[in-house]
Amino acid sequence: MPRRRLTEDERDLWQRVARSANRLHASSDPAKPDLRDGPVPDPRAPSAPQGAAPAPAPVPGRMTFPKPQPHSHPKTRVDLAESVGDRLAREPVRMDRNLHRSMTRGKLEPEARIDLHGMTVAQAHTALLGFVMSAHARGLRLVLVITGKGRKAGPDHAAPMPVRQGVLKHEVPQWLRAAPLGPLVLETREAHRSHGGTGAYYVYLRRRR
């Protein structure tokens, strides 16, 4: 059977289709990269500066931490071995200054005294509460509390840090500041050596109202 020739309209249609068809081979298109040689670099990524050493590759399973920076410590020196008497002496004077001077020089005679030396902490606390409250109720002003100096550490007990000696010596000033004794006490100072020195305290009570 003889082949039919294309009409003029069919020939024009075929030429338009052929011109609009895309090429089938990607390798002939220069706009498309060849992905067979690896990933295409991102043009937006910053390039490494010239002469810079490459960063070391991370070791699998090994964590790296930033190097700690040295801390700046204040130069204030704290004297851990400061005595209770020195600490009390630095407190502001609340009583009459002339009386305070006479008291610390041992020229005022205490009106009552209590000896806590040899008691346990619980026994001494209870005894001090009763003594101070009773003295205040009676209108007394200056009383003496004897705690003892505490056992001193010998040469065989040398330690790198200061060791606190005399539990009652350190506890009594705290008890005198805390309730219920705090509102009754005006001044606490280490006694003059004629009244026991570092093993006793002067306690100057407030006036009854």
For the stretch 8-49, pLDDT in tens is 877 887 777 677 665 555 444 555 555 455 555 555 655 555
Q: Which residues, in sequence order, are CB contacts of 40 under 8 Å at separation 6+?
A: 33
Q: How confident is the model at residue 6 (pLDDT cuts 50, 70, 90)?
A: confident
- Quote the pTM value: 0.57
Contact present, 142 and 103 (Cβ < 8 Å): yes
Give the DSSP letter string of 127-175.
Answer: HHHHHHHHHHHTT--EEEEE----PPP-GGG--SS-----HHHHHHHHH
* Average pLDDT of the segment spanning 51-73: 56
Instruction: Inform me whether the pLDDT recorded for 186 exceeds 90.
Output: yes
What is the CATH architecture of 84-146+166-205?
2-Layer Sandwich (3.30)
For the ranges 65-74, 85-94, 170-179, 189-198, the lowest mean pLDDT is seen at 65-74
Write down the pLDDT at residue 84: 85
Name the average pLDDT for the chain.
77
User: What angle separates helix 167-177 from helix 121-137, to the nearest 10 degrees?
Assistant: 40
Instruction: Inform me whether the pLDDT recorded for 76 exceeds 50.
Output: no
* Average pLDDT of the segment spanning 84-112: 94
Contact present, 131 and 102 (Cβ < 8 Å): no
Domain borders along the chain are 84-146+166-205
Write down the pLDDT at residue 15: 79
Contact present, 68 and 155 (Cβ < 8 Å): no
Greatest mean pLDDT range, 43-47, 74-78, 121-125: 121-125
Grouping H, G, I as helix, E, B as strand and the rest as coil, residue 204 is strand
Contact present, 179 and 163 (Cβ < 8 Å): no
Contact present, 140 and 111 (Cβ < 8 Å): yes
* Average pLDDT of the segment spanning 124-143: 98
